[in-house]
Structures are given as structure tokens and as C-alpha cells.
Amino acid sequence: DVYKRQLVGCILGAMVAGILGDKYGRRPVLILAAALFFISALGCTIPPSFKFLYSVRIIGGIGVGIASVLSPLYISEFSPPGIRGRLVALYQLSIVTGILLAYGSNWMLLNHSVHNDGLTGGSGFLYKIFVGEVWRSMFGMEMVPALLLLVLLLFVPESPRWLIQAGSSKSGKRILEKISGTEVAKVEFKEILFSLDQEKGKLRELFRPGLRTALMVAVGLSVFGQLTGINAVIYYGPEILKQAGIQFGNALQFQTILGIINLVFTILALLLIDRLGRRPLLIGGMAAVVLTLLLAGLLFLTDTPNGMLIVMVLGAYIACIAFSICAVIWVLTPEIFPNRVRGRAMSIAAFTNWGTNTVAAYLFPWYVASFGMHIGFFLSLIH
């Protein structure tokens, strides 16, 4: 239920991120998101009540929603054209790295709690956080990357495209020259000025012919990317593995292995996305995702599902989806919109993404309890 509350915040953050980013710049709003991460992590570690816990999770979700819009946007506007795809894919790499670190830290903290539970004299504050109520330390670990992000953002420049759009042409051009060199910067600078002359930057432009098609692509990728079940596996992985006959502690261990697979295949996509192109990765990877979802559903149809075989199939599923839509969506979406409407377009795409994510997260436990785990995988297959 705590995860679901955070998803509500993600929707709110995604709704306002594009507007705030266009008005105040990418960097200041990202700094705000990092501060919200830290506040949420601290509050979740020492909540005086469940109501307070839910509130600070929503605050953290707002930060996630903001970052999910502005991080790939900032990277795409900051990157040299020749390696833009790979650099934007680093955003997805950072996500899967964070997921893996969360899996690993949760597993280690749980093991520490189990092995030290019941120690004589164990009643202090640290004992409570790291042993007696280990969920507190699991939330508290979020403060480390949040603080690191907040500090590092203080040393990065603003997006050169946003600076030019805001009237600081000299500053924007200077940053472009540092990134791409003088000659390439001249070309990029002219292209940005031309796009600013051509585009009015109004929300209604997204519904005109041409941009309307781009918006449909971005929204479609967001919706169907979530409905393929990736976040259901991430959020409810231990429960899925538990139904496969794997105990909770071992389930966290296997989920860490799935996180490693996610990281490895995201790196592979990162290396190939500019060479092979976005479309081949998307089509080929999603075809393999369909097969793995079918196999997972069939395995859960049996009375006694083979736990290790299910882990292997889920590993293949994670590999395929990490190599395809999870890597492509954040690279492709900012590329298909002009600079002046990119922030608003990214907000709509991210809002759709988190909205679908939230609906799926709320419905997954219900339809699994009502119809069985196999139905969950078959529904994801149909989508």
C-alpha cells in the first residue's frame, strides 16, 4: 500500500514537471526533486504514524514524477547529436542500477536483522532501525543516493537549449561549444534558433497533424510499456516468487539476481541503441517478451510450479524487456518532439506512464487473488 501511495505522487509530479521545467529551467527543478527524495526517505525512516508515512511517500513520489520527466529531457538537450541515444539510455541504466542496489541492500539488511534478532541488550534506537523494525533502514537507505544527487546537481550547468529559449543565448552557446566543439555548436545553435522561430510552444500544438502522431507514439509506448507487467514484477516480485514456492528471504535473493539481469541487458541496449536503431530493438525485444510471458503463465497453471524454472523464465523476461521498450522509451520520446513543446510532451508521456503504472499496481493483487497468477501474465501478454 505504501508503494501505491508513492505512485499517486508520481502522477502529480509528472503533471507539473514540464510546466515547472519550461518556466524555471531543468536544473533548479531537478534540485527540487532531489530534495523531495531526501525528505521522503528521512520521513519514512522515522514516521510517527502511518498517516505521516503515507504523506512522505507521496512527497517522494512527486520527486520521482518530476525526475522521470526532466532527467531524460535534460540529457537529450545536453548531449552531442552523435551519442544522444546512448546518453539518454543512461537514464534507464541509472534506474535499473538503483533497483538492483535496492534489492541488494534490502536482502542484506533482512539477513542482518534475522541473524541479530534476539541479541541480549538489543533495545536501542539503531537496534530498532536495523534489526527490530528493519523496514525503517530499508527506507532510510534512500537518503544516500538522494543526498548524492542533490550535491552533484549543484555542479552541473543548465540545459543549453533551455538557456537559449529563455533568452540567454551567449550562455547557451558557450555550453554547446564545451560539449560539442565550436563547429558543431554553431550548427546546433542555428537549429535551436530555427526551432524557436517555428514553434510557439503551446500545449494545443501537440494535437496538430504531425505532432499529434508523435504524441500518440509517446503515449502508446507509455501505456503498453507498463501493461507488459515490468513494474508488477518489480513491485510484487517476492510475492510472485513466493507463489512459485520460494521462501521470502530466498525470494529477495532471486529478485537481486533478476536485478543484475536487468542491469546487464540495459547496458547491452545502451551499447547498441545508436547502432541498431530504436525500432529494431523495440520490435525484436517485445516479440521475445511475448514468448516469456506465455511461458510464465503456463508454468503458473500447474498445481506445483517449478520455482527455479519460473526464476529462469522471469530472468529471460526481464532481459528482453530491458533490452527493448524500457531502454527505447526514454530515448525515443524526447527525440520526436521539437524543443519548444518537448517539456509539455514529456509531462504528458510521463503522466500516462505513471497513471498506467498506478492502475496496474492497484489491480495486480486483486486479479491475481481473484483469478490466479497465470491470468496476470496472460493479461500482460495480450497487452
| Model pLDDT for residues 119-151, shown as the tens digit of each residue | 545 567 777 787 778 888 989 999 999 999 999
Residue 48, φ and ψ in degrees, nearest 5 = -75, -15
Higher-confidence residue of 153 and 100: namely 153
Q: What is the mean pLDDT of residues 333-362?
A: 79
The helix-helix angle for 211-227 and 339-371 (nearest 10°) equals 30
Cell of 241: 516468487
Q: How many CB atoms lie within 10 A of CB 49?
A: 8
Could you give the C-alpha distances from 285 to 112, 116, 176, 279, in angstroms and in order? 38, 44, 35, 10
10, amino acid identity: C
Q: What is the mean pLDDT of residues 60-86?
A: 84
Identify the pLDDT of residue 156: 92
Calculate the average pLDDT of the chain: 83
Identify the pLDDT of residue 32: 97
Question: How far apart (Å, rounded) are the C-alpha atoms in residues 140 and 154?
Answer: 23
SS3 of residue 85 by DSSP? helix
Residue carrying the nine cell digits 550535491: 151
Q: Judge whether 312 and 320 are in contact, CB under 8 Å.
A: no
SS3 of residue 96 by DSSP? helix
Question: How far apart (Å, rounded) are the C-alpha atoms in residues 270 and 75?
Answer: 14
**Where residue 62 falls among pLDDT bands split at 50, 70, 90?**
very high
Identify the pLDDT of residue 157: 92
